[in-house]
Amino acid sequence: MIETLVDPSQLYSVISFSFPTNFKFLGANTRLKFESGSRTVRASSPAITTGKESDESHIFFSNRRRGLIFITALPFLLRHESMEVSGVKAAEPGEEEYLLLKKGIRKVLSKGKAAGVLRLVFHDAGTFEMDNSSAGGMNGSIVNELDRPENAGLRKSLKILEKAKSELDLIQPVSWADIIAVAGAEAVSLCGGPNIPVQLGRLDSTFPDPEGKLPEESLDAPGLKQCFQRKGLSTQELVALSGAHTLGSKGFGNPTVFDNSYFKILLEKPWMSVAGMSTMIGLPSDHALMEDDECLRWIRMYADDQNNFFEDFKSAYIKLVNSGAQWKNS
């Protein structure tokens, strides 16, 4: 509990809370109380007198969390036992925590690290399947799955976020599921992609997810579509999320720029070349998308319209990072 002594004559502005607030006047001593659960802010003063005593009026604020409050006429507040509150807009639930989390991630994230962080999201959330709601999904279990062959290389990406998490936990604990979900969105934005809002409140799993749930790189288009369908994702969402391969070393354009180059290069089928590095571009699962008429329709659309791709990727990403999540207070 922190108490600060403030001179009433200097107090002219304040409180924007990120939680619901009740305002009450308490008794003849003209005490003002702001409360929300365990969080309390109090303003109090002795009864107003004349002469020297009135100059010694003081006000105490007690607050467990930081806040500012606008009081435009303190003498008026001290002399009246009712007040109509207007123009004070509470922050959205979790907004302060969300901005703090994004700031902490940006301290450790760079464009060169973006692809690995985004891959971390896909490998944590990608274990979800609709017929098994008890396990899998965006639950932070990836921290216990790093020794699996399909997660090779992700330890380095997790180490990056571990630094941010250790600092954030000193201020307010954050789950691995939340920090990974937000970090992936920040990686996309940092590299020029869409801004993706991420809801907070995921709980971490205490045990690894079942193995064999991630889509295999060798799957053909029908196999990929069936795999994503089990996760509640449509063919359109499969293609949009595959566009994340524009980042990194898979050969789809600038490795640190998030754009629609993935789809433009897919249409060129450079892996069909008889020689050169072009044969190394993409994974077999990327190539397979071009052999399916439904996937090809979305590939062409996104190659022609980057804004359309950005909007659909954003929607699919939000759906992905909410899949299988267990939420606080749910």
Known catalytic residues are 123
Mutual angle of helices 235-242 and 221-230, in 10-degree steps? 100
- The C-alpha angle with vertex 95 and arms to 94 and 101, in degrees rounded to 5, equals 90
Report how far apart, in Å, the C-alpha atoms of 13 and of each of 2, 10, 67, 73, 258 are.
Answer: 19, 9, 11, 9, 42
Q: Phi and psi of 6, rounded to 5°? A: -125, 135
How far apart CA 298 and CA 240 sit, in angstroms, is 8
In the three-class reduction of DSSP (H, G, I as helix; E, B as strand; rest coil), residue 300 is classed as helix
- Using only C-alpha atoms, the chain has a radius of gyration, in whole angstroms, of 26
38: burial class by Cβ within 10 Å (0-12, 13-18, 19+)?
exposed
